[in-house]
Structure 1
Amino acid sequence: MTPRDSIDQGPHRLPGNRTSIETDSKPRSDADRTGEVASGHPHAMVSIRWKDAESQGGPGWEDCEEMLEFARRPLTTVHTIGLLVHADEEQIAVTDTMTTDQMGGITKIPRGWIEKIEYLHAAGAFDDDRIDPPISKDSIDGRDARNVG
């Protein structure tokens, strides 16, 4: 069973950064393939549940009862889904969008805050007859066409 087939509940040992040279030209061990999904993409799609830090109040005085009520509330559970781009002993970093030479914003999550990590799997291509596409083919072909210019 590979890490992609299981739920990782800690300690979270995921691969670190890999450059395109490392992923495309060098043979990789099974341990180095843990971030590669079925499509061959070198960054695994992951779902991470974690607790976030919170603060309340400002530079002035605050009401004691309101502050104590805030202090007793449970921490917020956050659910982040993204492409795993880096992991080390301290943190895990994911992004939501990548091209061949650019990427969207990075979310860095401290390992100690993580409750659960799941590797997500591709369900299949949208042209696969067994899978319903997010938009029907009829609505794509019959969409409103507008002339510009």
Structure 2
Amino acid sequence: MDAIFGLPQIQSVAKALWQVGKKHKVWAFHAEMGTGKTTFIHALCEYLGVKDAISSPTFAIVNQYDSAEAGVLLHMDWYRLKDEEEAIMAGIEDHLLSEQYCFIEWPEKAPGLLPDDTFHVYLQLLDPATRRLYTDAEAI
């Protein structure tokens, strides 16, 4: 999948991405700071029927949401993790093995913990109002 979009199109891109990636339980969102990972995951959670308040798990590391479409969703932000050992101590492995959907920001902090079938999603900032989202070819 490859899409160029602005905020008005984010819901339709989130819907399309779900159709492409829903067979994968672990999703790794790769992007620079300020590109919109949290905003996109928020849109994806809204599409999936989450009624809870959706927020960045930067300090909590993991937020849990209930989805009408997908069951329990785990939104993780690994930005503050130092390394894989700290991630393991925080219980990240248990979440990844839980068979629940896991949407991960900053997967680069502990890449060795990601399952082989992780769905990798890349976001690029094209200009202040435009983003590009694409996925790796093997995940499609």
Q: Is TM more than 0.5 here?
A: no
Q: TM-score range by the shorter chain?
A: under 0.3
Greater RCO (CA < 8 Å, at least 6 residues apart): 2
Could you state the TM-score of these two structures normalised by the residue count of structure 2?
0.26
Could you state the TM-score of these two structures normalised by the residue count of structure 1?
0.25
Q: Judging by fraction of residues, say which structure has more helix.
A: 2
